[in-house]
Amino acid sequence: MSRDFDEILDECIDRINSGQGIEECLASYPEHAQELEPALRAVFDIRAAYSFTPRPAVKAAARQRFYAALDSLERKRQEHRAVPRRLLRWSWAWAGIAAILLLGVIGYALMTTLAPANAGILEVRVTDAPPQDVSEILVSVDDIQVHKAGAGEASGWITIIEEEKTFDLIKISGIEEVLGSEEIEATDYTQIRMDVLWVEVTIDGEQKTATIPSGTLRIVSPFSVEKGEKTILTLDFDAEKSVKVTGTGEVIFRPEVKVLARKGEGS
């Protein structure tokens, strides 16, 4: 094959990779169609033969391991820094300012009565990177739950906070705000979920109610609650990615959140 053909074939493969069909490539190079078409058909057949979709459960488990490794790295970095509690902020995931919510959960030993000595506290924090021209992002959630590792999908959820809680992702940047606390079993957990009730965003001085495509925010992230210890969960909200304004001015809230767990002060 001539060198020109090599370049043409290469360009056509780029175009196929970007979603174009064989016919479009052939239309661009009709003088090479006789040679080009069988080559491009072979490319398509090869892609189709090996085009498998990785199993979602396997991919999710690998993703969990990856994020657990990221969490571990950031925890170690934080442990090496002496930062006043008031100024403590988590800027790991995406650039920006930290808006922090705390959810306190107290862990207790299985099959023992509740006692301070057996308690562990789970705190959830949120960090946030606010988009430009947004002065307020009011988010209202309720029914905050965590899921016990290995438990059934329906039975493994434990409610931490039932009542509605509202917070401003912009206003609480750099501050820790406690949503609530609950005593729970000292064990491993893998998920957090909450119902997002409503979101109001103030853009250029105008308040708009955001569309929430999915009312339930569910985050897969492993963490442990230890006996006699406080565990802090930081929900790293990226407001810049979570809040989108469409061409017609509609505001859509599709939360992008990362959960980071670390040990805090004792219960």
Binding residues for other proteins, rule: CB under 8 A, are: 1, 3, 5-7, 9-10, 13-14, 17, 38-39, 41-43, 45-47, 49-55, 58-59, 61-63, 65-67, 69-70, 73-74, 77, 91-95
Residue 191 CB, nearest approach to other proteins (Å): 18
Q: Which burial class, exposed, middle or buried, applies to 130 when counting CB atoms under 10 A from its CB (0-12, 13-18, 19+)?
A: buried
Output the six-digit token pair for 1: 């094959």
**How far is it, in rounded angstroms, from Cα 121 to Cα 134?**
34
Smallest distance, Å, CB 51 to other proteins?
Answer: 7
First to last CA, the chain: 74
Cβ closer to other proteins: 161 or 260?
260
Minimum CB distance to other proteins smaller for 66 or for 115: 66
Taking the complex as a whole, the smallest distance from the CB of residue 48 to other proteins amounts, in Å, to: 8
The minimum distance between CB 3 and other proteins, in angstroms, equals: 8
CB of residue 29 vs other proteins: minimum separation in angstroms? 14
Answer yes or no: are the C-beta atoms of 38 and 9 closer than 8 Å.
no
Nearer to other proteins, 13 or 175 (CB): 13
Residue 10 or 206: which CB sits closer to other proteins?
10
Closer to other proteins by CB, 2 or 248: give it. Answer: 2
Q: Minimum distance between the CB of residue 181 and other proteins, rounded to whole angstroms?
A: 30
The smaller minimum CB distance to other proteins, of residues 70 and 197, is found at 70
